[in-house]
Chain A
Amino acid sequence: MTQYRNGSTNGPERIAPALVGGLLLVYALGKRSWQSAVAAPLGGALVYYAATGRNPLITLRTGGSLHDDGVTIHRAVTIRRSPQEVYDFWRRLENLPRFMSHLDSVVDLGEGRSRWQAHTPGGLPLHWEARITVDESGRRLAWETLPGANVRHYGDVTFRPTLTEGETELHVEMTYAPPGGAVASAVAELLNGITSQTVKEQLRACKQILEAGETPTVEGQPSGRKEA
């Protein structure tokens, strides 16, 4: 049975631990001394808390692991297109930035490998390479980052037919996790920006593109407000 988790801590209360944790990590990585042995785990734990909103000590006690975890989000949306059409849209990975606002580009390198370019909410660049791990046409698509990426990312998307012809229940599971060390604060910022609501909005945008051909917007329309 899938567990739906929507309730982790989010928002400003996670910025401070992200900053402090990131600084501790940077400090620790520059030292090879007893100080780093204290600072590194502490910094990592703070970044982990900032990224996931969960207490790492509790996670450790209950058997979770710092590096295997991260933010995992489940979401479902029903789209008035056949599973094959929705799968085809996702399988062209270049389409993903059209509805995932943190992605700048995804380039298909062939043989199931791809290069992803992203940015954090604060504009810091991130990039990674990924490989497709499951590719069942019209049914399921999954991918994971390749070793060496500065964020660990898994996606698992199933395209389920409904009882109505030409309709798809899209079920998405996304995980973003810190790699365990370098550029931790950028990763934390990215993870902090990816919430259940973000993924919900991204899937809404995906549905809007597939059903209506565009995403609705009011950006750029007139108002009586004096714009700066």
Chain B
Amino acid sequence: MKAVCWNGIHDVRVDTVPDPQILNPRDAIIRVTLTAICGSDLHLYDGYIPAMQPGDILGHEFMGEVVEVGPEVTNLQVGDRVVVPFPISCGHCFFCEHDLWSLCDNSNPKAYMTEKLYGYGVAGIYGYSHMMGGYAGGQAEYVRVPFADVGPLKIPDGLTDEQVLFLTDIFPTGYQAAEQCEIQPGQTVAVFGCGPVGQFAIASARMLGAGRIIAVDRFPERLRMAAYTEGVETLDYSENDIVETIKEMTGGRGPDACIDAVGMEAHGEGLIYYYDKAKQLARLQTDRPTALREAIQACRKGGVVSIPGVYGGFVDKMPIGAAFNKGLTLRLGQTHVHRYLRPLLERIQEGAIDPSFVITHRLPLDQAPHGYEIFRQKEDNCIKVVLTP
């Protein structure tokens, strides 16, 4: 089959590889009908996530048709059309049973790696480094899905692939980010980063009753897309002092919640940004926390900072003093996608949202390297690339 393989920094190729096989009784094989490049795939592309090996198949946002099931998978049948959550979860451990699916105890064959780094092992994720299990990803014609009796959600007829694909990651990720803000009716939420996750955080904050939403980015097309959602005010950080401007926009009090939808490769202005960039390049820090620092600084006292942006290791100059003395609540983590699949599918079915609004580029799988390149460079107003095998 054809698959998108990581071969090094800024080097992805579409290679011919063997077809996946059932390896465990709870496995299924899916023929991928639509997949996407995630903003977090760019962290792999740029070489900031450790434990990648040349030849690893990328992709954790994918859906398709079941073509084979293991003997323990009784809820799926060949021909079913499914979306697959990006975290791999067994469904029976303490964490799965407490609805904390991305923290599954039993799905990461290389849990010892994150156990060393984080104290405890975390769940496996498709195509997201050997630290996250080394699972082959779904930017391919076929993919093996472990614990297929628990993860995949069957999609009813009448919805297109483009409408439901983002249930696999970015829609629930944006939704969880907004939910973590515990928005009270009429409250103000600032969203840092208007990439796909930021867009879904904005749309979700609106669904959850936010009164005002301030969308922060530097790319006009992203700010324009954010402005589609009713009640969104946009802020270009390359032209404004972000913290001062947000403060002024909120009458000096600050937003009730801030969402960092940027993560470890943040951009910024001024000396501190270049200091962070230099330290990251020299491997003196793994993550560049510019957006996180600003979110903490801008948030009102007693507010919530919610972090769907991915971090992997260590940061410098974390303003923990600001967070502490302002009595902030920090909410973060990989998304518990399984928790949101059904409720968000219902929102799509009832027409409350059509997630396909974020798609700007539709490419065949063969052109994945081009997709990575334009997504990384924000060329051609690229916001979200979907790939058809």
Contact = CB atoms under 8 A, between A and B. Distances in A.
Interface of A: 78, 80, 167, 197, 200-201, 204, 207-208, 211-226
B136 A218 contact: yes
A72 to B, nearest CB: 21
Interface of B: 1, 3, 5, 7, 13, 15, 17-21, 23-26, 53-57, 72, 88, 90-94, 97, 105-109, 111-112, 121, 124, 133-136, 140, 144, 146-147
Contacts of A219: 23
B56 A216 contact: no
Contacts of B21: 220-221
A210 B260 CA distance: 38
Given A221-B144, A223-B136, A211 B55 contact: no
What is the interface of chain B mostly: helix, strand, loop, or mixed?
A: loop
Contacts of B133: 216, 218
Contacts, number: 98
A166 B20 CA distance: 36
Given A207-B105, A215-B109, A217-B23, A223 B92 contact: no
Nearest to B16: A224
Contacts of B121: 204
A212 B90 CA distance: 6
Contact of A216 (B5, B57, B72, B146): B146
A224 B3 contact: yes
B3 A222 contact: yes
A220 B19 contact: no
A222 B1 contact: yes
Contacts of B97: 80
Contact of B57 (A197, A220, A224): A224
26 contacts: A167-B94, A200-B112, A204-B111, A208-B90, A208-B105, A211-B90, A211-B92, A211-B106, A212-B93, A214-B24, A215-B109, A216-B108, A216-B124, A216-B146, A217-B24, A218-B109, A218-B134, A218-B135, A221-B20, A221-B135, A222-B20, A222-B140, A224-B3, A224-B55, A224-B57, A225-B54
